[in-house]
A and B are shown apart, each in its own frame.
Chain A
Amino acid sequence: MDPEDPGRGADGRDRGRPGQGTTPDATPTDAAQPTPTPPDLPPDAAQPTPRPPDLPTDAARPEAAPPSPAPAPEAAGPAGNGDQDRADGAPGTAVPLLSLRGAAKSFGAVHAIVDASIDLYGGEVHALVGENGAGKSTLVKILAGVHRPDSGQLLVNGTPTVLHGPAAAQDAGIAVIYQEPTLFPDLTAAENIFMGRQPLRRGRRIDARRMRAQARALFERLGVRLDPGRICRGLSIADQQIIEIAKALSLEARIIVMDEPTAALSAAEVARLFDVAATLRASGAAVLFISHRLEEVFEICQRVTVMRDGRQVLSRKLAGLTADDLVRAMVGRQLDDRAADGHHTPGDVVLRVERLTREGVFTDVSFDVRAGEIVAFAGLVGSGRSEVARAIFGIDHYDAGSVTVRGRPLRGSSPTGAMAAGVGFVPEDRRQQGLVMDMSVQQNMALASLGRLRRAGIISSKSERNFAADWALRLRIKFGRLTDPVSQLSGGNQQKVVLAKWLGRQPSLLIVDEPTRGIDIATKAEVHRLLSQLAGNGVAILMISSELPEVLRVGDRILVMREGRLVAEYPHSEASEETIMSAATGQLQGQAR
């Protein structure tokens, strides 16, 4: 980074300020911790000077400061430092960059986390997994300085630290990339990166040109094409995350927390993100990677911490573990992974889409969905899958083609018409489009069935309650009371509420867009079983999913879209991840990566 940047010095950033107020009582992990310096030394002595994360693109990388030697780029095997819990690349004598010990946090009567501990070493990507409600988000928010733990201790570079707010976390070198990035849509990419820390010129004025140049340099280091002067409104989630990562780089963050960063990304974007994570790791930073996709965890992480019910249940080197081991640790039992009883014999055609076209979005899309059949729509994000679904349901208009449901043509641009024809639509973004977050569980469930629940124009809350209780039972939705706002439920249960809302109308065609995004594994399996059951009952299902294992597990037939066109169709028996991906990316196998 620019050493002359006056903005940086003006921050008054000092990392590892000795925190006041944390209890110095020894937690069980303390004994096992190879802390080379007594905790009461002055911070300057006890703490290695944090180095800016030089990326390997800078060819001439100086050797790291003594206490945190640069990690071996790949698994170089420190072999025999006697510490099994250590990451491949983590140096044997290093103090963890960050260490949370025995943290507990309650919100009212709810114990979000009870005993959470985690050690993050420089040069590792550390996975944090657990079901929804296991306390991962609370842990993230503690690291982000949003929540303060009720008890327990946070050490940054071996120094007890209290984070008094997000700014303090930033100063301590912790950057958090949230699942849904928190950008300022009206401001430019460069401003988003440097907000509050803009490079200054004479008179404390913002040096816009230098800010843009620095942002451009960051994007180049990350290997992405983004215009620093671009307004952020309308950026894809992947690009928004890139901006957040660029911000973390510019902060010279040593600890980067990524909270489900891949949930909304396409395969190519995930690959790009993983490259970035590897780069950060090679620079000696610690990355905490949270994901529900275990295959991703195995791909990029060296160590893993599993949480269940607010406690750490496992924290060790990933090598030697299998996905089954992790799942067992997460759910505490063996999981039946198979989607019910496999696949069904399709009946009559329920949905027929012919030559559907919307200028510039999708072209000439034709396919059928039969009763009792699950058709999975695969493809990269942005290939036009969701847009086709929205056009079928009448949210977006289309320019040419036709949609027929059970032999009767659907008039375009009318969700009401689609609903009357027996179509249900579970949208991609449940928080924005699927639910009214401030309304209660039962109100949300009844929302699509108000016509049926109405007596003389009035909706009695009793019939609403009966309706909701019935569906809650059938879908095994977990909630406090039916009158609680739906925002209090976990992601998986929220998704079930959206499903219940549409199932209550007994649709003959159900369109589900990314039905299990951000949902934990156990609930995911339940949703899959549920879809399978529905198909067994003769409902035609069109499922859009970016997760190939899900597409392969659930889909009876798999359609692949690329750049707005339907490019391939596979029966369940012939599809594989490779065939789908090569169709979706338009490449021959083996050519990529």
Chain B
Amino acid sequence: MSTTLAPPREPPEAPADLSSRRLTERVFRVRETGIIAVLGLFVLITAVIQPRFVSSSNIQFILVDTSVYALVALGETMVIISRNVDLSVQSVLALSAYLSAGLFGHVHGIPIPVVFLVGFGIGVAFGAANGLMVSLGRVPSLVVTLATLYIIQGIDILIVGGNEVVASSLPSGFTAIPNVTVLGIPWLAIAVAAVIGIGAYYLRTFRSGRELYAIGSNPEGAQLAGIPVARRVFTAFTLCGGIAGVGGVLWAAQYQTINTSAGGNNFSLIVIASVVVGGVAIFGGSGSPVGAAIGALLLGTINVALDVLGISSFWDQAIAGFLLLVAITLDRLISLRLAAALRKRSAHDGT
């Protein structure tokens, strides 16, 4: 070309820039190590002030209490990774808790696994409805799930009314679920951790899992790359709903008195906060359910710690909000720093 005189080509070298990889890997690991550090610090400080905090029964309590949040955070993570959000998990959980636990009263001797399946099915139905509207209707998920949050809540009130499922109608095998321990660790926490591990493994090592990240990273590019975007997003919402449904059954086992307020008014937001505090980018593309679970554990620990220290629960929410800001700021800072570092590297390599 007349306008260019190329400098001599550098010989292709084997990956000379391993250091950039190390840098990125380090930074990405930091996202999770950072919050583990915060968690450790919190436990330490609280334990120094109030040694009772690290008693085995208290730790068991925290683990059990966190389990449902961490589990639902797994589904929420999949949705958020694909650059969507599901606000409706809390009403799905509440409805599933009432309907599935109510089965014990209606169908005598119904096996517990069947109840879990029913809860899962209820969640899948609502999740699929969300997924259909988002993926095919192309309505922003924030709007769709805000709507279904209220709609499902309405259905819940309609069905439940003033009724409630009481502990006496539940079989003892069911209500014992949160109390069973293995080597002092709640069985429930182990099971949830295993499910989260499977979820994380799936997202990391299966094509459809990686495609969720791709969709969240660049939705248009995903379309151009021939990824079945609609189907993947639909699946993420369906799974998220199903997991919330299972969460409802666990909620019933744990609290045993189920009325319209199961899950609480803030459940969805706490789950989303856990996911973001756990290092999942709110605009998708990066993060893992393991981080989200640690995020849930951190928020749960703070909740209990403040209780143990006798601090008003007002501070609990304020601290959760503060952590959220820290997480988002850190996320932003890290990605800016990272981009700058990588840009500098390619500027050096580029010519």
Given A186-B216, A592-B5, is A233 in contact with B339 using a C-beta cutoff of 8 Å?
A: yes
Residues of chain B within 8 A of A144, CB atoms compared: 224
| CB <8 Å contact, A577 and B3 | yes
Q: How many Å lie between the Cα of A269 and that of B139 in the bound state?
A: 41
How close is A251's CB to chain B, nearest CB, in angstroms? 10
Residues of chain B within 8 A of A227, CB atoms compared: 15, 17-18, 20-21
Residues of chain B within 8 A of A269, CB atoms compared: 350
Flag whether A229 is at the interface (Cβ < 8 A): yes
How close is A550's CB to chain B, nearest CB, in angstroms? 10
Q: How many Å lie between the Cα of A182 and that of B343 in the bound state?
A: 18
- Find the residue from B2, B10, B226, B346 having the highest chain A CB count within 10 A: B226
Flag whether A274 is at the interface (Cβ < 8 A): yes
Flag whether B16 is at the interface (Cβ < 8 A): yes
A376-411 with Cβ < 8 A to chain B: 380-383
Interface size class on chain A is: 35 or more
How close is B250's CB to chain A, nearest CB, in angstroms? 29
Flag whether A367 is at the interface (Cβ < 8 A): no
Residues of chain B within 8 A of A231, CB atoms compared: 24, 338, 342
Residues of chain B within 8 A of A204, CB atoms compared: 206-207
| CB <8 Å contact, B214 and A187 | yes
- Find the residue from B3, B222, B335, B350 having the highest chain A CB count within 10 A: B3
Flag whether B194 is at the interface (Cβ < 8 A): no
| Stretch from A14-22, A38-46, A71-79, A165-173 at the B interface | A165-173
| CB <8 Å contact, A380 and B207 | no
- Find the residue from A204, A231, A275 having the highest chain B CB count within 10 A: A231
How close is B265's CB to chain A, nearest CB, in angstroms? 33
| CB <8 Å contact, B1 and A274 | yes
Q: How many Å lie between the Cα of A166 and that of B221 in the bound state?
A: 11
Q: How many Å lie between the Cα of A591 and that of B350 in the bound state?
A: 20
Contact string, A540-552, partner B, CB cutoff 8 A, digits 1/0?
A: 0000000111000
How close is A267's CB to chain B, nearest CB, in angstroms? 4
Q: How many Å lie between the Cα of A347 and that of B210 in the bound state?
A: 60
Q: How many Å lie between the Cα of A185 and that of B12 in the bound state?
A: 24
Contact string, B327-340, partner A, CB cutoff 8 A, digits 1/0?
A: 00000000100111
Flag whether B211 is at the interface (Cβ < 8 A): yes
Contact string, A420-464, partner B, CB cutoff 8 A, digits 1/0?
A: 000000000000000000000000000000000000000000000
| CB <8 Å contact, A270 and B1 | yes
Flag whether B168 is at the interface (Cβ < 8 A): no
How close is B348's CB to chain A, nearest CB, in angstroms? 9
- In this complex, what residue of A is CB-closest to B2? A295
Chain B residues bordering chain A, tally (CB within 8 A): 54
Residues of chain A within 8 A of B221, CB atoms compared: 182-184
- In this complex, what residue of B is CB-closest to A581? B5
Flag whether B213 is at the interface (Cβ < 8 A): yes
Q: How many Å lie between the Cα of A586 and that of B8 in the bound state?
A: 11
Residues of chain A within 8 A of B335, CB atoms compared: 233
Given A196-B226, A205-B206, A235-B346, is A184 in contact with B1 using a C-beta cutoff of 8 Å?
A: no
How close is A276's CB to chain B, nearest CB, in angstroms? 12
| Stretch from A218-226, A483-491, A518-526 at the B interface | A218-226
Residue from A208, A224, A271 in contact with B1 in the complex, judged by beta carbons closer than 8 Å: A271
Flag whether A238 is at the interface (Cβ < 8 A): yes
Q: How many Å lie between the Cα of A295 and that of B4 in the bound state?
A: 10
Flag whether B281 is at the interface (Cβ < 8 A): yes
Flag whether A533 is at the interface (Cβ < 8 A): no
| CB <8 Å contact, B12 and A268 | no
| CB <8 Å contact, A268 and B226 | no
- In this complex, what residue of A is CB-closest to B8? A592
Residues of chain A within 8 A of B7, CB atoms compared: 268, 585-587, 592
Residue from A165, A183, A270, A581 in contact with B226 in the complex, judged by beta carbons closer than 8 Å: A165
- In this complex, what residue of B is CB-closest to A220? B12
Flag whether A198 is at the interface (Cβ < 8 A): yes
How close is A269's CB to chain B, nearest CB, in angstroms? 7
Residues of chain A within 8 A of B5, CB atoms compared: 267, 578, 581-582, 585, 587, 589, 592-593
| CB <8 Å contact, B207 and A295 | no
How close is B233's CB to chain A, nearest CB, in angstroms? 15
Flag whether B88 is at the interface (Cβ < 8 A): no
Flag whether A228 is at the interface (Cβ < 8 A): yes
Q: How many Å lie between the Cα of A208 and that of B206 in the bound state?
A: 10
Residue from B213, B224, B341 in contact with A186 in the complex, judged by beta carbons closer than 8 Å: B213
Residues of chain A within 8 A of B307, CB atoms compared: none
- In this complex, what residue of A is CB-closest to B13? A225
Flag whether B50 is at the interface (Cβ < 8 A): no
Q: How many Å lie between the Cα of A166 and that of B229 in the bound state?
A: 12
- In this complex, what residue of A is CB-closest to B209? A206
Flag whether A482 is at the interface (Cβ < 8 A): no
Residue from B9, B15, B205 in contact with A206 in the complex, judged by beta carbons closer than 8 Å: B205
- In this complex, what residue of A is CB-closest to B226? A167
Q: How many Å lie between the Cα of A183 and that of B340 in the bound state?
A: 18
- In this complex, what residue of B is CB-closest to A146? B224
How close is B24's CB to chain A, nearest CB, in angstroms? 5
| CB <8 Å contact, B350 and A184 | no
How close is A244's CB to chain B, nearest CB, in angstroms? 10
How close is A588's CB to chain B, nearest CB, in angstroms? 10
Flag whether A239 is at the interface (Cβ < 8 A): yes
- In this complex, what residue of A is CB-closest to B202? A205
Residue from B3, B205, B216 in contact with A548 in the complex, judged by beta carbons closer than 8 Å: B3
Q: How many Å lie between the Cα of A545 and that of B217 in the bound state?
A: 31
Flag whether B227 is at the interface (Cβ < 8 A): yes
Flag whether A266 is at the interface (Cβ < 8 A): yes
| CB <8 Å contact, A195 and B227 | yes
Q: How many Å lie between the Cα of A384 and that of B17 in the bound state?
A: 22
- In this complex, what residue of A is CB-closest to B285? A186
Residues of chain A within 8 A of B191, CB atoms compared: none
Residues of chain B within 8 A of A186, CB atoms compared: 213, 216-217, 281, 285-286
Residues of chain A within 8 A of B343, CB atoms compared: 234, 236
Contact string, B198-242, partner A, CB cutoff 8 A, digits 1/0?
A: 000000011100110110111011111111000000000000000
How close is B84's CB to chain A, nearest CB, in angstroms? 15
Residue from A268, A360, A383, A582 in contact with B344 in the complex, judged by beta carbons closer than 8 Å: A360
A262-302 with Cβ < 8 A to chain B: 266-272, 274-275, 293, 295-296, 299
The 21 listed contacts between A and B (C-beta, < 8 Å) are A146-B224, A166-B223, A185-B285, A187-B210, A195-B210, A196-B211, A196-B226, A204-B207, A225-B349, A227-B15, A227-B17, A230-B21, A233-B335, A238-B350, A272-B6, A274-B1, A581-B3, A582-B5, A585-B5, A587-B5, A592-B5
In order of increasing CB-CB distance, the 7 nearest A-B pairs are: A167-B226, A234-B342, A271-B6, A267-B4, A186-B285, A182-B221, A184-B217
